[in-house]
């Protein structure tokens, strides 16, 4: 019990995506930083981001006010105007910082032959303001930032370390974070880290749903850890679903771009009939949330596992030229999209809610920060506008760095933390319990707490989550931890927060749609949940 390996650092950052690595690079010239990542350093949603990052670069035609107004419009009346303004105002300088780090955004020549950034436009934006690196912006950001942190002498990278729980001193005048316990996945042992400051940059929680566009690491760990530690969380009912991800056992989490519908693909039922014209006069070109709801409705009505996206009526060369990646990927699993329809389902894509922070990324607990998708800053409101999320990662990473650096000099050296106690646990003999509960949780979240909700479905899900929570808690108390068990424990916690938030919202707004309250309320407020200990 006392041979726990112990690390000491100034700032420990949990997560190696855009948020975590930006924070690390902004701090490391001034203090010692450790970044821990649950899987490989590359693995997180950042790596898979396609479109780009929003910022006003075209001063002639665009303005910060316009970026603010578009974001507020997308957020359906629930954004915090100040947070939106803060983000949009800081966007350009954050993008310049990324450019200085070496991110290769696409360039073009203007009419006078001068080089400038190529800006694209995406849903919700009234101007061209998206910087991008072809259609793999996230990969460009992730690999650039990784090469920078790897080259920095004062950044320690702990790969395959899974953060278990924060260590909080609750005896202090106000609760203060002292460090955390981590599970070293390679050595299969628990270690501890003490630090002056801790930052959660653990990404979103979309893995709580059966179908998701996110990588496996998106299990809401940071939200669950912060909640257990005593932080408030907000707006957990707002999950963004992408309408069309491939439904295929050999190729999961693969998005089929909305551009395919833009180029004339039809959505069809298993019997081959089209259904979008029955739901909206814009048919397949209706907005993302309407298409996702229609697919969900048809799947539930027919008891179907998926619907089909069909572009095979178009010319073969046209399809291959416009969608080379999708064509190749689908062909790799034996699906020729020039001849047959693509099986698709909607997929959980983005967690708009999270750990409540101020504009410096500070949470309710002293010295604990939350940045990136794990956080609720008020930026996204009831619906996230495309390309604002990577932006939020950088803007709030920089803000958190500034705040930490303003305090670090006066902060005493990190103190010791209690050793991890394994004296009462044994090795699990029934791993099947974890596998089963994992699947059950993600399935009922999909069926009852997905795109279309009702009070009855939510209450049904809550009863199941309570049972699972109890079972997982007993398991956690009696058996040695494993990666799957830690993730399941967090997923079930996040599921409960989503359900409780959804039950509190007595209206349909943005990404939250319930059959029992289909109208908008007159006075919308964020849903804020407080842990009992607060
Ligand atoms: C397919 C796809 C396309 C997207 N396209 C865009 C786009 O074009 N533009 C845009 O702005 N946004 C886009 N997004 C959203 C955006 O990519 C994410 O919101 C953003 O990358 C989140 O960054 P992050 O740093 O907060 O978290 P992530 O990049 O998800 O990183 C989380 C990190 O935390 C680590 N971690 C998690 N739990 C633990 C734990 N317990 N212990 C240790 N480490 C842990 C993970 O290992 C990982 O390193 C897209 C998302 C997806 C999935």
How far, in whole angstroms, is CA 477 from its chain's centroid?
29
CA–centroid distance, residue 416 to ligand 1 (Å): 31
C-beta of 13 in contact with ligand 1 (< 6 A): no
Alpha carbon nearest to ligand 1 atom 9, residue: 387
CA–centroid distance, residue 213 to ligand 1 (Å): 11
| Active-site residue (options: 129, 288, 293, 489) | 288
Query: How many helices (H) does the chain have, and how many strands (E)?
Result: 15, 20
Residue 480 is among the residues annotated as catalytic for this protein:
no
CB neighbours (10 Å) of residue 103? 19
> What does the alpha-carbon distance between residue 128 and residue 112 come to, in Å, rounded to a whole number?
19
Name the residue with higher pLDDT: 411 or 263: 411
Q: Which atom of ligand 1 is nearest the CA belonging to 204?
A: 30
What value does the mean pLDDT of the chain take? Answer: 94
pLDDT of residue 213: 93
From 12, 49, 220, the mutation candidate for ligand 1 (largest count of ligand atoms within 8 A of CB) is 49
From 21, 138, 144, 182, the mutation candidate for ligand 1 (largest count of ligand atoms within 8 A of CB) is 138
pLDDT of residue 43: 97
Q: What is the pLDDT of residues 299-334, one digit of tens each?
A: 989 999 999 999 999 999 999 988 888 899 999 999
C-beta of 45 in contact with ligand 1 (< 6 A): yes
- CA distances (Å), 287 to each of 77, 279, 290, in order? 17, 12, 6
Burial class, 212, CB count within 10 angstroms (exposed 0-12 / middle 13-18 / buried 19+): buried
Fold adopted by 245-349: Flavocytochrome C3; Chain A, domain 1 (3.90.700)
Report whether 12 contacts 199 (CB < 8 A): yes
Name the residue with higher pLDDT: 420 or 459: 459
Residue linked to tokens 């795109």: 451
What percentage of the chain carries pLDDT values higher than 70? Answer: 99
C-beta of 201 in contact with ligand 1 (< 6 A): yes
CA–centroid distance, residue 17 to ligand 1 (Å): 6
Domain 431-518 has CATH 3.40.30.10: no
Alpha carbon nearest to ligand 1 atom 50, residue: 49
pLDDT of residue 533: 63
Q: Supply φ then ψ for residue 84, to 5 degrees.
A: -65, -45
pLDDT at residue 9 above 70?
A: yes
Q: What is the pLDDT of residues 232-279, one digit of tens each?
A: 999 999 999 999 999 998 887 788 887 788 888 999 999 999 999 999
For 216-254, b/e burial (b = at least 16 CB within 10 A) is ebbbbbbbbbbbbbbbbbbbbbbbbbbbbbbbbeeeebb
Collect all residues with Cβ–Cβ distance below 8 Å to 321 and sequence separation of at least 6.
none
Q: What is the CATH number of domain 6-235+352-407?
A: 3.50.50.60
pLDDT of residue 210: 93
CA–centroid distance, residue 411 to ligand 1 (Å): 30
C-beta of 215 in contact with ligand 1 (< 6 A): no
Q: Where do the structural domains in the chain lie, given as residue ranges?
A: 6-235+352-407, 245-349, 431-518
How large is the average pLDDT for residues 511-534? 93
pLDDT of residue 479: 87
pLDDT of residue 285: 84
Q: What is the pLDDT of residues 99-136, one digit of tens each?
A: 999 999 999 999 899 999 999 887 788 888 999 998 78
pLDDT at residue 1 above 70?
A: no
pLDDT at residue 2 above 90?
A: no
> What does the alpha-carbon distance between residue 160 and residue 188 come to, in Å, rounded to a whole number?
10
How large is the average pLDDT for residues 141-148? 98
How large is the average pLDDT for residues 284-312? 91
How large is the average pLDDT for residues 133-151? 94
pLDDT of residue 3: 65
Based on C-alpha coordinates, what's the Rg of the chain? 23
Residue 533: its H or E element: none
CA–centroid distance, residue 272 to ligand 1 (Å): 36
Residues paired with residue 528 on neighbouring β-strands, in sequence order: 234
């Amino acid at each position: 019990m006392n041979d726990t390996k112990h690390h000491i650092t100034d700032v420990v950052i949990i997560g190696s995506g855009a948020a975590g690595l930006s924070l690390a690079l902004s701090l490391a010239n001034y203090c010692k930083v450790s970044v821990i990542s649950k899987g490989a350093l590359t693995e997180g949603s950042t790596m898979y981001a396609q479109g780009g990052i929003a910022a006003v670069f075209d001063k002639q035609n665009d303005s910060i006010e316009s970026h603010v107004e578009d974001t507020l419009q997308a957020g359906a009346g629930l954004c915090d105007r100040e947070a939106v303004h803060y983000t949009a105002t800081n966007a350009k300088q954050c993008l310049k910082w990324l450019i200085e780090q070496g991110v290769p955004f696409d360039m073009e020549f203007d009419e006078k032959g001068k080089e400038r950034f190529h800006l694209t436009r995406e849903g919700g934006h009234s101007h061209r303001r998206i910087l991008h690196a072809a259609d793999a912006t996230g990969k460009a950001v992730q690999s650039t930032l990784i090469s920078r942190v790897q080259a920095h002498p004062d950044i320690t990278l702990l790969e395959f370390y899974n953060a278990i729980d924060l260590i909080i001193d609750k005896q202090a005048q106000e609760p203060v974070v002292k460090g955390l316990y981590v599970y070293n996945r390679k050595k299969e042992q628990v270690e501890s880290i003490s630090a002056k400051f801790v930052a959660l940059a653990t990404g979103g929680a979309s893995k709580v749903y059966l179908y998701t566009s996110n990588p496996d690491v998106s299990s809401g760990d940071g939200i669950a850890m912060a909640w257990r530690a005593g932080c408030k969380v907000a707006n957990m009912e707002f999950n963004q679903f992408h309408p069309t991800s491939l439904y295929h056992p050999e190729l999961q989490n693969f998005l089929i771009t909305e551009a395919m519908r833009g180029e004339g693909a039809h959505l069809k039922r298993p019997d081959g009939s089209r259904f979008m014209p029955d739901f909206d006069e814009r048919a397949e070109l209706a907005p993302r949330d309407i298409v996702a709801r229609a697919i969900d409705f048809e799947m539930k009505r027919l008891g179907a596992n998926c619907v089909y996206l069909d572009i095979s009526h178009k010319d073969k060369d046209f399809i291959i030229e416009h969608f080379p990646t999708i064509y190749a990927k689908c062909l790799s699993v034996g699906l020729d999209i020039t001849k047959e329809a693509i099986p698709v389902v909607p997929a959980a894509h983005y967690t708009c809610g999270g750990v409540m922070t101020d504009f410096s990324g500070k949470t309710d607990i002293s010295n604990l920060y939350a940045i990136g998708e794990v956080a609720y800053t008020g930026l996204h409101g009831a619906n996230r506008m495309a390309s604002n999320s990577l932006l939020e990662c950088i803007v709030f990473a920089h803000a958190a760095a500034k705040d930490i650096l303003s305090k670090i000099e006066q902060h005493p050296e990190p103190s010791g933390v209690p050793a991890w106690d394994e004296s009462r646990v044994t090795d699990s003999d029934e791993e099947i319990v974890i596998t089963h509960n994992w699947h059950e949780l993600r399935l009922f979240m999909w069926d009852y707490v997905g795109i279309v909700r009702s009070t009855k479905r939510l209450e049904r899900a809550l009863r199941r989550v309570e049972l699972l929570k109890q079972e997982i808690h007993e398991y956690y108390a009696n058996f040695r931890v494993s990666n799957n068990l830690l993730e399941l424990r967090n997923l079930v916690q996040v599921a409960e927060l989503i359900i409780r938030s959804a039950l509190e919202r007595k209206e349909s707004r943005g990404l939250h749609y319930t059959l029992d309250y289909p109208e908008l309320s007159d006075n919308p407020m964020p849903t804020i949940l407080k842990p009992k200990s607060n």
